[in-house]
Homo-oligomer: A and B are copies of this chain.
Amino acid sequence: MTAEKLSQIGELPLLEQIRKDFSKKSKNVLVGIGDDAAVVEPINKYLLATTDMMVEGIHFDLRFVTSYQLGFKLISVNVSDICAMGGEPYYLLLNIAINRNATKRFLDMFFDGVKDAISVYDTGLIGGDLSSSNKGMSISATVIGYADKYIRRSGAKMGDKIYVTGSLGDSACGLELLKKIKKPVPLRRHLSPSIEKGKGGGVKTLCFEYGLSKKTIEPLLRRHLLPEARNPKDFVHAATSMIDISDGLLIDMSRLCSESKAGARIYEEKIPMSPEMKKAAEKLGISPIKLALSGGEDYELLFTAPAGRKIKAISIGDIAESKKVIVDKKGREKPFSAEGYQHFGRL
């Protein structure tokens, strides 16, 4: 049944199923999926909106990820943008263009990932569009959220402390591992079909070849395949500027500096790195600090707050007048600038 191809099922039965699966009304939804547009009750807060796309061959490679992971990650990266404004996600809209030869099972698993993400972030799927595609898969999500107070990238002030919410480089390290495993690793959020499951080979071989344990690599793979957006509620009252780290600490710090018309001094030894990442990077022969500074897809929040405030996050430096520098363990300063992935070729 589930190996049935989408082309054998047709659009209307698929839409009917999605509508049924996501019919649970949440948070003031008056009209959900199934009409021309969704309708929700007004809320007297700032309205936030963001959209992000994931394109096959550019943002993901179906040889390395499951459709469950795609669904989960798509929601997380969008929710992360709402969190980076200091907001809370409320509603989700989805667009899916998928090859007509894809199986029903593939699409069902994608929606399982969406469902798990929706439950983690307590958001409601209120609309979307499903299309066949002759070529690659492409998916996008729009998340609508609300905030009592919103935090821009542009509010950092000279003397503010710079914070991140968690360890950096795990996701990039997870990607390096995946490139060696060369097949999807069937991690899910709740159920944890151990990463040993599947048709064997990849993970085991990797662990054997590089002298790594599954306990070391699983959290790294998880950070890459199933990233979770960070909730800013513990520090949003104090934050002066904020961004989420999607393209790497240095490029996102540069963006924040550029919008705030300020510089930054970051202390290399303060950059949080997980023991798993350090170990795996070492075994793979990659510099851990490089992954932490430029790896990207961490989805940790990077923010600033006035000095002297008690903040539940990791301080990594200070906002400076204009120069952007990293200070290494020996106290030497090295300037940095926006470096990271750009679409359309140029790095």
Contact = CB atoms under 8 A, between A and B. Distances in A.
Interface of A: 6-12, 14, 30-31, 34-53, 55-59, 80-82, 84-85, 87, 91, 93-97, 100, 126-136, 138, 140, 142-145, 147, 150, 152-154, 242-244, 259, 338, 342-346
A131 B55 contact: yes
A141 B14 CA distance: 22
B45 A42 contact: yes
B38 A50 contact: yes
A79 to B, nearest CB: 10
Contacts of A346: 9-12
Please give me the 8 A-B residue pairs with the lowest Cβ-Cβ distance, nearest first: A10-B346, A135-B135, A37-B50, A36-B84, A7-B345, A57-B134, A142-B142, A11-B342
B134 A129 contact: no
B132 A344 contact: yes
B35 A153 contact: yes
Contacts of A91: 49
Contacts of A56: 134-135
A138 to B, nearest CB: 5
Contacts of A42: 42-47
A27 to B, nearest CB: 11
Contacts of A53: 95-97, 129, 131, 140
A147 B12 contact: no
Contacts of A147: 39
Nearest to A99: B344
Nearest to A135: B135
A166 B44 CA distance: 38
28 contacts: A10-B343, A10-B345, A31-B150, A34-B259, A35-B152, A36-B81, A36-B82, A36-B153, A37-B87, A38-B49, A38-B50, A39-B46, A39-B47, A42-B43, A42-B46, A44-B44, A47-B47, A49-B142, A50-B127, A53-B96, A58-B131, A58-B134, A100-B345, A129-B140, A132-B344, A135-B135, A138-B138, A140-B140
B342 A85 contact: no
Contact of A55 (B6, B35, B97, B338): B97
A332 B165 CA distance: 71
Contacts of A37: 48-50, 81-82, 84-85, 87, 143, 145
A268 to B, nearest CB: 26
